[in-house]
């Protein structure tokens, strides 16, 4: 397994692999790996000959009052996990390598970046789309694998890749959960035991609605949201940020949920930790 931290060297290796006829599978991450990240690496392995993982905690996607400084990092453990997943190349650029002095260009997906997480994290998706554009330009033609855990991010990236004709195939990979249902997240490490238990109300509420829709068929969106809201608000340690039913493509509000075309998405604070989760309906 190669580890590189220079843009030019990654480009060189990727060009050479393509010349040799290999398909490149790319998994962009911020590191501190859990099974969710590893599932994306396995998907990339299935789809490609050469698997490249980037680890970069992107300052551009954190707001001034967010958790950039305390975002969990463990490069040695991450490299060992990549090795075990038979990753071919890990790209670990520094902030200076990605954003040189005087950096001033951004990529923005206007409509899709506005609601849900975009409304609560101003500038977040601009940071994501800017770094993902840079990474896709560095890696070149590839299948890029993203988790459905960050559902809005996935749709924003899909839209950007289509709008800007970027030579990447965006591949979605399902949410990986802990055995009790909590969606895996690098930030779960911050949850104190009582918060960890309280956080379960998020996945439980989403699952209860999904099971009801599976049993009874489509529902008015208001009813689905109210049902999940009751379950989450019963948990005093959890502060809801948003809970919304949207269409699964453009993330616009919907009247009814069901039939697989909608998503119920939630963001909440549990203690000092912000968690997100979603389910397709």
**18-26, 176-184, 216-224, 261-269 -> range binding ligand AMP (CB under 6 A):** 176-184
Q: How many residues bind ligand AMP (CB under 6 A)?
A: 17
Taking the least distance from each CB to ligand AMP, the nearer of 30 and 199 is 30
Taking the least distance from each CB to ligand AMP, the nearer of 94 and 217 is 94
Q: Which one of 183, 202, 228, 245 is in contact with ligand AMP (CB under 6 A)?
A: 183
- Report, in Å, the least distance between residue 39 CB and ligand AMP: 6
- Report, in Å, the least distance between residue 279 CB and ligand AMP: 13
Q: Which of 197, 213, 272 is nearest to 239 (CA)?
A: 272
37 binds ligand AMP (CB under 6 A): yes
Please tell me what DSSP assigns to residue 177: B
Taking the least distance from each CB to ligand AMP, the nearer of 183 and 221 is 183
- Report, in Å, the least distance between residue 222 CB and ligand AMP: 28
47 binds ligand AMP (CB under 6 A): no
Q: Which of 131, 125, 133 is nearest to 109 (CA)?
A: 125
Report helix, strand or coil for 217: coil
184 binds ligand AMP (CB under 6 A): yes
Q: Are strands 142-147 and 168-173 parallel, antiparallel or unpaired?
A: parallel
- Determine the Cα–Cα distance for residues 146 and 27; give it in Å rounded to an integer: 7
What positions carry a catalytic annotation? 37
- Determine the Cα–Cα distance for residues 14 and 26; give it in Å rounded to an integer: 11
36 binds ligand AMP (CB under 6 A): yes
186 binds ligand AMP (CB under 6 A): yes
- Determine the Cα–Cα distance for residues 114 and 105; give it in Å rounded to an integer: 19
- Report, in Å, the least distance between residue 97 CB and ligand AMP: 18
- Report, in Å, the least distance between residue 28 CB and ligand AMP: 6
176 binds ligand AMP (CB under 6 A): yes
Contact set for ligand AMP, span 133-172 (CB under 6 A) = 146-147, 149-150
Strand order across the 50-55 sheet? 2-4, 89-91, 50-55, 24-29, 142-147, 168-173
30 binds ligand AMP (CB under 6 A): yes
- Burial call 121-159: b when 16+ CB within 10 Å, e when fewer: bebbbbbbbbbbbbbbebbbebbbbbbbbbbbbbbbbbb
Decide: 159 and 118 in contact? Cβ < 8 Å.
Answer: no
Rounded alpha-carbon distances, angstroms, from residue 80 to 3, 76, 77, 135, 162: 12, 6, 5, 22, 34
182 binds ligand AMP (CB under 6 A): no
Q: Which of 209, 197, 204, 205 is nearest to 181 (CA)?
A: 204
- Report, in Å, the least distance between residue 138 CB and ligand AMP: 17
175 binds ligand AMP (CB under 6 A): yes
Q: Which residues lie near ligand AMP (CB under 6 A)? A: 29-30, 36-37, 39-40, 146-147, 149-150, 173, 175-176, 183-186
């Amino acid at each position: 397994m190669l580890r590189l931290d220079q843009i030019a060297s990654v480009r060189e290796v990727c060009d050479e692999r393509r010349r040799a006829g290999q398909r490149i599978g790319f998994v962009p991450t911020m590191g501190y790996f859990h099974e969710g990240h590893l599932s994306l690496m396995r998907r990339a392995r299935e789809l490609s000959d050469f698997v490249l993982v980037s680890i970069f905690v992107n300052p551009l996607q954190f707001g001034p009052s967010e958790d950039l400084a305390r975002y969990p990092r463990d490069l040695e453990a991450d490299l060992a996990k990549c090795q075990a997943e038979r990753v071919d190349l890990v790209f670990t650029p520094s902030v200076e390598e990605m954003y040189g002095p005087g950096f001033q260009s951004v990529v923005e997906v206007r409509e899709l970046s506005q609601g849900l997480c975009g409304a609560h994290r101003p500038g977040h998706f601009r940071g994501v789309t800017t770094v993902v554009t840079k990474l896709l330009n560095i890696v070149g033609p590839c299948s890029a694998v993203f988790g459905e855990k960050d559902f809005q991010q996935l749709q924003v990236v899909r839209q950007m890749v289509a709008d800007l004709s970027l030579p990447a195939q965006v591949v979605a990979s399902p949410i990986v959960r802990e055995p009790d249902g909590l969606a895996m997240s690098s930030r779960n490490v911050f949850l104190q035991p009582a918060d960890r238990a309280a956080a379960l109300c998020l996945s439980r509420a989403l699952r209860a609605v999904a099971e009801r829709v599976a049993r009874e068929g489509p529902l008015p969106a208001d009813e689905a949201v109210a049902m999940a809201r009751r379950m989450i608000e019963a948990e005093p340690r959890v502060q809801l940020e948003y809970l919304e039913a949207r269409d699964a493509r453009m993330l616009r509000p919907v009247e009814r949920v069901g039939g697989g075309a909608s998503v119920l998405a939630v963001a909440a604070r549990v203690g000092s930790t912000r968690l997100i989760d979603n389910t397709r309906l």
